[in-house]
Every structure is written in structure tokens, then in C-alpha cells.
Amino acid sequence: MIKNVSLGQYFPGNSIIHRMDPRMKLVLVVAIIVLIFLMDTLVGNLVVFGFLVLTIILSRVNIKFVLRGLKPLWFIIILTFVLNTFFYSGGTEMFSWWVFRVSEEGLMNAVRLAVRLIFLITATTMLTLTTSPIALTDGIESLLKPLKRVKFPVHELAMMMTIAMRFIPTLIEETDKIMKAQTARGAEFDSGSIFKRAAGMVPLLVPLFVSAFRRADELAFAMESRCYNGGEGRTRMKIMHMHVRDFIAMAVVAGLIVFAAFGF
Amino acid sequence: MSIELENLTYTYMPGTPFEARAVDDISLHINDGEFLGVIGHTGSGKTTLIGLVAGLLKPTSGRVLIDGADIAEKSYDRKALRRYIGVVFQYPEHQLFEETVYKDIAFGPKKTGVPEEEIEQRVRHAMELMELDFDGVKDLSPFELSGGQKRRVAIAGVLAVRPKVLILDEPVAGLDPKGRTHLMNLITHLNSEGVTIIMITHSMDDLAEYAHRVIVLNGARLVMDDTPQKVFLKEEELRGIGLDVPYVARIASALRAKGINVDNDVIRLDELEGAVKRLMTGKNGASGSGGNA
């Protein structure tokens, strides 16, 4: 019933990109996003394109998964493209019809924006495809550490994110089980009017909430019985290390930024 | 009425790195009124198989035919299918959701189109079968019951539909000895009234005691399909795939190892008792029909 859930769309693998330090990946993705906005020329965009293609090749992620990440955004991409093409004021006119007027600059602008959007999504998709959700939260926690100085609950936040992510597959599995059990008793989740469907969700949602609360309770109990009392003095099983590959990646991105700064 | 599985195959998440074949080319004929036991170690595809039989999963390939009609067809009457096959999943108490026990048990009959005036009688009967006090329990919230009672309410909810085929996925897991005996007695009682039983279990003893036929799954494939006597003869093979034989069969083989002549198709307690009695009374006549006691 619930098929093909790729959680946080992580694509398991052991490539050089997968093995990079999550902290470095996070920082570099932010840098790449800035870079994408800086690049304004054809050459610049080609360079970014080349960089992204290289990342995809190195990560050995199936290209289908990268494109799947773009799927939900096709609508927005096409919409911005159309709006920019037809409603760009000024510029040299290419052709016009009724109230529509297409100019050379308008078309260029539309292409540029669409390409930019695709690049942005690809870059962030590559991050989530090659980094497991747990590694990602670990990285975020580590990067946010300085905020502890201003009493920001970094560890608690990261722990909540980790637990939430840990339980997504469990809850999906649970939903699937309860759905099957209720379907076997004659419940229907995929037919009828929208109101009927909403009412039909009750036999699914009530047991799901009950089990979520039960699990939360059990988990809290299990954590406390293993002496969990917050982040203070807690050591890690997996300590993150920067390796040569991380610095190489950093150098490449830094190079691109310099390249962009010199006006390409 | 009979159920026919034709080259049934089911693959989870096809085309992803998580792709896994849970049921692989299984063909099977399930007779009316049969008590079919399904065994296999964890992850061998038992639960997926019953999901397919009950029409809750759509086969990747192959067909499930009930009286010759493919249940995956759009034209197949869903409600009739739900009335025909009832499923008690593992930990059925997790499916409770209504405000009162009565409403929860009435949910299945209502959804499968049982006439309104018949529902109360059905709920009452199902509760009696599950040894629940109708007047005392019907207005309670299912969430304030004990674990064992919750399970009984959940099973009553399935029985109230009065299915012709009852599928049970480890129904006695986590029950106390009294609850186990009651439930197993109830299942055999329903079976004697003509209800086809398909039961997944890890209890070889229960199967030896009650099943007419046992199928063994290993790595998504059907590896054995025979009477419990014949299946439990293959002790080595069963152990090789993480399963075991009933304790009676183990006692019988221990006796044989000591040179005491007990037939090797002895798997039930009463059979063993008969065989031992014969050995003690007529010291010579033990070789013949040990299994007919």
C-alpha cells in the first residue's frame, strides 16, 4: 500500500562523496548555493554544471534518483520560466501576440532562473542522497555548537531530530500494518468523497497516535534506564573526522568561488 | 469455495537499492475446511504471503484465484472478499480505535455490509466466542482493558464478520497459557464448523496438534508442503533453515536413539502416549501402527 518511500531520500553507498564529513558537506552545499547565485555568465553556469555532474558521477548515485528529487519542483520551474518569458518588460522584442510579448532578454532571464533553480535543487538533493539522516543531524549539531553560548538547546534539538528521523520508517511501517488490518475488516481508504475519506482516516489515525505515544513512552523509559540525562558529558560512538578528501572538496569549491569573484 | 495461488511473486520496492523479493513463485491450492499451518523463520515471506492471499497486497506477478476468479481484477467485489476472508494480524490489539468495545467489534460487520439488525447479534456471539462478558464490557473503551482482553476484543472484531477463511498471524504470541489454550481451542472449533484456517506460527507443537497440512517457506520460496507427520520427519532439513520439530517428535527420536521402538511419524502427545502404552503392555507389538492412537 505504501510503496517506494525513500526516507530523506538517502541513497546508501560507499563512494567518496558518501564518506565525506557531513559537516564539510553541509558547509560546501551552502557555499555552492551562494556560488550558484553569483554565477551569471554562460561559462560560469557551465562550470557549476560540470561541478554538479562530477559530484553525481563520483557519488555513483543513480541519475534517476537525482531527477526524482527535481520532480515535485517541475511545476515551479515551468511557472517561473513562463512568467519570466512573457512578463519581462523592456528588452528587444522577438515576437508578440495579443497581450504577450517575448523579448530576447526576457527569454534569457527565464532560462537563467530555471537553470538556477535546477542547480539549487540538484545540489541540495545530492547532499541528502549521499548523507544519511543521522549523519546529517550529527553534522548540524556539531556546526550549531557555538550557539550553546547563547543558551540555544543545540543538543536537545539534534536529539529530537535524530529521534524523529529514526521513527519515520517505524511509523510508516506501523501505518502500513494498521491500514492492512483495517482494510481486512472492510475499511476503505481510497474511495468516496473527500469528507468520507477524511472520516475514513479515523480507524487509521487513532491506533497510530496510540502507538506513537506508547513508543515515545517506552523510548523515554529505555533512554532513562540507560542513564541518559541530556548532552552534558556525553561521548560519541562515531566521531566525525575531516580527511584529505574533505579538504580537496573544499579547495575545489573555494577555487570556484574565486573563479566567480573574478567575474565569470 | 477454494483458494488457488498461481506463481505468486511479490517484490518490495522494485527498482531501488532496497528491492527485495518477499514471495517468489509460489503456487498452492488451499482446500475448503482445511487447517493449513505456515512456518518459516523471520523474513521468509509468511506475512507477505497472507497479505497477498487476503488481497491486501497486489502481486508483482501471478494470481490469487478464489473460486476461479482473480481477486486483483477491478470487477472483483471487495466487500464480498472481506466477508469471505478474515485476517487476525500479529498483535491485533493495535488495530482498536473506537470509543467502545461494542462499536469496535461492530466496525467490520458494518463495513462489509452486514444488515443493521443482525449486527448486535453478531457482536454478542463474537464476544461469547472470545469469552467476553457482553453487558459488562461492551460500553467500556477498548483502551482501558488489559492486554489480553484487548486482544480478545480485536479477534472478536474479526470473528463478527463470520469469515469462511480465517487467516491468523501468530495469534498466540504473547498470550498467557490459559489464553493460548482458549484461543487454540476456539480456532479448532471454528475449523470443525467448516472455517478454513490458515495459521502462521512458530509453535511446531500447535501445528503437530491441530494442522492438517503444513507449508514451509524459506527465502521467499515454498520448500515443503505436506502433512505435519511428513514435514516433521525432515528434522535435519528443518533445522538447516532455522526451524525445529515438535517436542513430542524430539522425545520420540530420543527414545529411538535409546533403542526403544517408536514410530517416526509420532508428533502428537496422544500418539506418543499410545505408543508408549503399547510398548509397556505388549512388549513385542510396538513395530506396527504406532500413529493411530
The model's confidence at residue B133, banded by pLDDT at 50, 70 and 90, is: very high
Q: Flag whether pLDDT at A5 surpasses 60.
A: no
Whether residues A166 and A102 fall in one domain: no
Whether residues A113 and A185 fall in one domain: no
Residue B199 to residue B168: CA distance in whole angstroms: 5
Question: What average pLDDT does the segment B220-235 reach?
Answer: 92
- Spatial contact of B215 and B227, defined as CB atoms under 8 Å apart: no
* Residue among B117, B111, B3, B128 nearest B53 (CA): B3
**Between chains, do B161 and A186 touch, taking CB under 8 Å as contact?**
yes
- Whole-structure pTM value: 0.75
Please list every residue in chain B whose beta carbon sits closer than 8 Å to the beta carbon of residue A206.
Answer: 97
Whether residues A162 and A127 fall in one domain: no
Q: Where are the alpha helices (DSSP H) in B29-77?
A: 46-53
Give the residue numbers spanning the domain of A53: 7-131+240-261
Whether residues A163 and A68 fall in one domain: no
Q: Flag whether pLDDT at A264 surpasses 80.
A: no
Q: Which residue has the cell 498467557?
A: B176
Whether residues A208 and A124 fall in one domain: no
Whether residues A50 and A79 fall in one domain: yes
Residue B121 to residue A137: CA distance in whole angstroms: 55
Q: Flag whether pLDDT at A48 surpasses 80.
A: yes
Whether residues A218 and A244 fall in one domain: no
Residue A231 lies in a domain: no
Whether residues A250 and A159 fall in one domain: no
Instruction: Characterize B205-234 residue by residue with b for buried, 16 or more Cβ atoms within 10 angstroms of its Cβ, and e for exposed.
Output: bbbbbbbebbbbbbebebbbbeebbebbbb
Q: What residue type is assigned to position B43 of the chain? A: G
Q: Could you report the predicted ipTM of this complex, rounded to two decimals?
A: 0.85
Q: Which range is least confidently modeled, A64-78, A110-124, B84-98, B152-166?
A: A64-78
CA torsion sign for A73, A77, A79, A80 is: positive
Interface A–B counts its CB contacts (< 8 A) at 70
The total number of structural domains that make up chain A: 2
Residue A176 lies in a domain: yes
The model's confidence at residue B291, banded by pLDDT at 50, 70 and 90, is: very low
Higher pLDDT, B104 or A230: B104
pLDDT at residue A2, as a whole number: 45
* Residue among A20, A8, A241 nearest A133 (CA): A8
The model's confidence at residue A217, banded by pLDDT at 50, 70 and 90, is: very high
Strand partners, B88: B168
Residue B95 to residue B73: CA distance in whole angstroms: 27
Residue A165: CB atoms within 10 A of its CB come to 17
* pLDDT tens column, A229-248: 877 777 877 788 888 899 99
Cell numbers found for residue B75: 470487477
pLDDT at residue B137, as a whole number: 93
* pLDDT tens column, B62-92: 999 998 899 988 888 888 999 999 999 999 9
Please list every residue in chain B whose beta carbon sits closer than 8 Å to the beta carbon of residue A181.
Answer: 87, 89, 92, 94-95
Average pLDDT, chain A: 84
Question: What average pLDDT does the segment A191-214 reach?
Answer: 87
The model's confidence at residue A151, banded by pLDDT at 50, 70 and 90, is: confident
**Between chains, do B95 and A3 touch, taking CB under 8 Å as contact?**
no
Residue among A180, A185, A211 minimizing CB distance to B107: A185
Kindly report the CA angle at A20 between A18 and A22, in degrees rounded to 5? 95
- Can you say how many angstroms the Cα of residue B94 is from the centroid of all Cα atoms in its chain? 19
Please list every residue in chain B whose beta carbon sits closer than 8 Å to the beta carbon of residue A177.
Answer: 89, 94
- SS3 call for A67: helix
Residue A78 to residue A101: CA distance in whole angstroms: 18
Please list every residue in chain A whose beta carbon sits closer than 8 Å to the beta carbon of residue B13.
Answer: 3-4
Residue B105 to residue B56: CA distance in whole angstroms: 20
* Residue among B268, B122, B94 nearest B188 (CA): B268
- The maximal CA–CA distance of chain B, rounded, in angstroms, is 66
Q: Flag whether pLDDT at A195 surpasses 90.
A: no
Whether residues A11 and A110 fall in one domain: yes
Looking at CA atoms only, how far is residue B158 from chain A in angstroms? Answer: 7
- Reported for B238-242, long-range contacts at CB under 8 A and 24+ positions apart, including other chains, are B241/B40, B241/B41, B241/B44, B241/B216, B242/B41
Half-sphere exposure of A119 (CA within 13 A, CB side): 27
Residue B218 to residue A164: CA distance in whole angstroms: 34
Q: Which CATH number fits domain B3-244: 3.40.50.300, 3.50.20.10, 3.40.309.10, 3.40.30.10?
A: 3.40.50.300
Cell numbers found for residue A94: 522577438
Average pLDDT, chain B: 90
Task: Provide, rounded to the nearest whole percent, the portion of chain A with pLDDT above 70.
Answer: 92
The model's confidence at residue A85, banded by pLDDT at 50, 70 and 90, is: confident
Residue among B13, B94, B108 minimizing CB distance to A207: B94
Residue A2 lies in a domain: no
Residue A139 lies in a domain: no
Whether residues A124 and A166 fall in one domain: no
Summary count for chain A: helices (H), strands (E) = 10, 2
pLDDT at residue A81, as a whole number: 82
Residue B55 to residue B138: CA distance in whole angstroms: 31
Strand partners, B218: B221
Q: Which range is least confidently modeled, A70-74, A253-257, B175-179, B246-250?
A: A70-74
Residue among A174, A184, A210 minimizing CB distance to B143: A210
Q: Flag whether pLDDT at A203 surpasses 80.
A: yes
Residue A56 lies in a domain: yes
**Between chains, do A181 and B96 touch, taking CB under 8 Å as contact?**
no
Looking at residue B202, the DSSP 8-state letter turns out to be S
Residue B196: CB atoms within 10 A of its CB come to 23
* Residue among A224, A222, A230, A228 nearest A155 (CA): A230
Q: What residue type is assigned to position A163 of the chain? A: I
Q: Where are the alpha helices (DSSP H) in A60-193?
A: 63-70, 74-86, 104-130, 133-144, 154-184
Tell whether B76 lies on the interface with A, counting CB pairs under 8 A.
no
pLDDT at residue A4, as a whole number: 41
Whether residues A24 and A90 fall in one domain: yes
Whether residues A34 and A121 fall in one domain: yes
pLDDT at residue A6, as a whole number: 46
Q: Flag whether pLDDT at B289 surpasses 50.
A: no
Q: Which range is least confidently modeled, A233-247, B19-33, B189-203, B214-228?
A: A233-247
Looking at residue B100, the DSSP 8-state letter turns out to be S
Cell numbers found for residue B188: 479448532
- Spatial contact of A143 and A23, defined as CB atoms under 8 Å apart: yes
Instruction: Give A100-137 as a DSSP string.
Output: EEEEHHHHHHHHHHHHHHHHHHHHHHHHHHHS-HHHHH
pLDDT at residue A91, as a whole number: 67
List every span in chain B annotated with CATH 3.40.50.300. 3-244
Q: Give the residue numbers in A contacting B (CB under 8 Å), as ranges.
A: 1, 3-4, 6, 11-12, 174, 177-178, 180-188, 202-203, 206-207, 210-211
* Residue among B31, B45, B7, B66 nearest B197 (CA): B31
Q: Flag whether pLDDT at A3 surpasses 70.
A: no
Tell whether B171 lies on the interface with A, counting CB pairs under 8 A.
no
* pLDDT tens column, B46-66: 999 999 999 999 999 999 999
Q: Flag whether pLDDT at B103 surpasses 90.
A: yes
Residue A11 lies in a domain: yes
- SS3 call for A171: helix
Residue A31 lies in a domain: yes
The model's confidence at residue A8, banded by pLDDT at 50, 70 and 90, is: low
Residue B139 to residue B100: CA distance in whole angstroms: 5
- Spatial contact of B221 and B23, defined as CB atoms under 8 Å apart: no
Residue A233 to residue A235: CA distance in whole angstroms: 6
Please list every residue in chain A whose beta carbon sits closer than 8 Å to the beta carbon of residue B157.
Answer: 185
3-state secondary structure labels for all residues of A19-43: CCCHHHHHHHHHHHHHHHHHCCCHH
Q: Which range is least confidently modeled, A67-71, B35-39, B236-240?
A: A67-71
Half-sphere exposure of A161 (CA within 13 A, CB side): 17
**Between chains, do A211 and B94 touch, taking CB under 8 Å as contact?**
yes
